[in-house]
């Protein structure tokens, strides 16, 4: 009986470590490849120990990139960061204002407006991407940060989550602020926003990763290398037909692309968990 209990306690840990190994091993291979020369990577079998070209490969990735791509990883990281931050902040601001209007203002068609926003969740991005491209092209926003960010700053998910949170706020708070002479925007900025810190933090994490991982939209509207994001750049590094793929630079750039979203999740983990649980309540 004791032996069976011990096995039942140990077995979940074994499966957990196996799952961790399956997830971490590809990342480990990427790191190993980023520290070797291209010849070492293409050799069979590839070395499974770190090489001596770590500083050289990462320095070149950050400053130069590959021969078939004129943009460095540093430039592409900057573009990805601007896009991710712009999308995250823009979605939060627009969604907060929309949810505030839907919950705290009484106007004809309020429910219709909410459901019209919510129903857009059923439309995949691919359905509306060509009309969006036409609008951005007509406005002259191709190859620009505005073109990368503005079409992505509306989120039905964020509006729904903020609406659910605002509906849990006691109406007495809004009435008390009105009695004290606070304007609607003063109530929104000085009372409601501080109460919504944790849902905002949770939404920021989700939307930052969403913006960082965007591929299809930047692929459509960026033709100049100075506006390439990391995902687009990595794809271009592999697209050279007449050029030998420099795998050590590709792997170094791939590993660099993982760092910002990982840091955001690590440093905002507590706020993310608290924001999601508070929203559910």
pLDDT digits (tens, 9 = 90+) for 6-38: 777 888 888 999 999 999 999 999 999 999 888
Per-residue confidence (pLDDT) for residue 276, from 0 to 100: 65
Per-residue confidence (pLDDT) for residue 42, from 0 to 100: 85
Give 185 or 7, the one with higher predicted confidence. Answer: 185
pLDDT digits (tens, 9 = 90+) for 62-110: 888 777 777 888 999 999 999 999 999 999 999 999 999 888 888 888 8
**Mean pLDDT estimate for the chain:** 86
Helical H segments across the chain, by residue range: 2-33, 38-42, 54-63, 73-104, 110-118, 125-138, 145-149, 156-167, 171-179, 184-187, 193-195, 197-212, 216-221, 230-237, 247-267, 269-280
Per-residue confidence (pLDDT) for residue 2, from 0 to 100: 61
Domain spans of the chain, in order of start: 76-280
pTM: 0.86
Main-chain phi, psi angles of 104, to 5 degrees? -100, -5
Tally of CB atoms within 10 A around 68 = 16
Per-residue confidence (pLDDT) for residue 156, from 0 to 100: 84
Nearest alpha-carbon partner for 152 in 93, 70, 238, 227 = 93
The superfamily (CATH) of domain 76-280 is MetI-like (1.10.3720.10)
Average pLDDT over residues 164-172: 85
Tally of CB atoms within 10 A around 147 = 23
Average pLDDT over residues 121-137: 83
First to last CA, the chain: 42
CB contact at 8 A, 201 and 92: no
- What pLDDT band is residue 277 in, cutting at 50, 70 and 90? low
Per-residue confidence (pLDDT) for residue 25, from 0 to 100: 92
For the cut 50, the answer to whether the pLDDT of residue 281 exceeds it is no
pLDDT digits (tens, 9 = 90+) for 212-259: 998 889 988 988 888 999 999 888 888 765 667 888 899 999 999 999
- List b or e across 34-67, with b for residues whose CB sees 16 or more CB atoms inside 10 angstroms: bbbbbebbeeeeeeeeebebeeebbebbbeebbe
For the cut 60, the answer to whether the pLDDT of residue 1 exceeds it is no
Average pLDDT over residues 31-54: 87
CB contact at 8 A, 73 and 61: yes
pLDDT digits (tens, 9 = 90+) for 130-152: 888 999 999 989 999 999 999 88
């Amino acid at each position: 009986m004791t032996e069976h209990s011990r096995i039942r306690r140990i077995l979940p840990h074994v499966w957990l470590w196996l799952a961790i190994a399956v997830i971490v091993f590809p990342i480990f291979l990427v790191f190993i490849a980023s520290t070797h020369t291209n010849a070492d990577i293409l050799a069979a079998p590839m070395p499974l120990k770190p090489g001596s070209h770590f500083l050289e490969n990462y320095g070149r990735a950050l400053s130069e990139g590959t021969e078939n791509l004129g943009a460095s990883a540093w430039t592409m990281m900057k573009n990805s960061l601007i896009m991710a931050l712009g999308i995250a902040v823009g979605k939060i601001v627009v969604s907060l204002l929309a949810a505030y209007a839907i919950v705290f203002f009484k106007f004809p068609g309020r429910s219709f407006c909410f459901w019209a926003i919510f129903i857009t969740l059923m439309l995949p991005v691919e359905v509306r991407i060509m009309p969006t491209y036409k609008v951005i092209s007509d406005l002259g926003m191709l190859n620009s940060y505005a073109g990368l960010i503005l079409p992505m700053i509306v989120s039905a998910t964020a509006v729904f989550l903020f609406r659910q949170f605002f509906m849990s706020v006691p109406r007495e708070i809004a009435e008390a602020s009105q009695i004290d002479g606070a304007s609607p925007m003063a109530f929104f900025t000085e009372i409601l926003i501080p109460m919504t810190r944790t849902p905002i933090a949770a939404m920021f994490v989700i939307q930052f990763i969403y913006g960082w991982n965007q591929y299809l939209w930047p692929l459509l509207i960026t033709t100049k290398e100075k506006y390439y994001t990391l995902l687009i750049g990595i794809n271009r590094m592999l697209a050279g037909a007449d050029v030998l793929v420099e795998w050590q630079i590709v792997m170094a750039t791939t590993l660099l692309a993982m760092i910002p979203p990982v840091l955001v999740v690590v440093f905002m983990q507590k706020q993310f968990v608290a924001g999601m649980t508070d929203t559910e309540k």
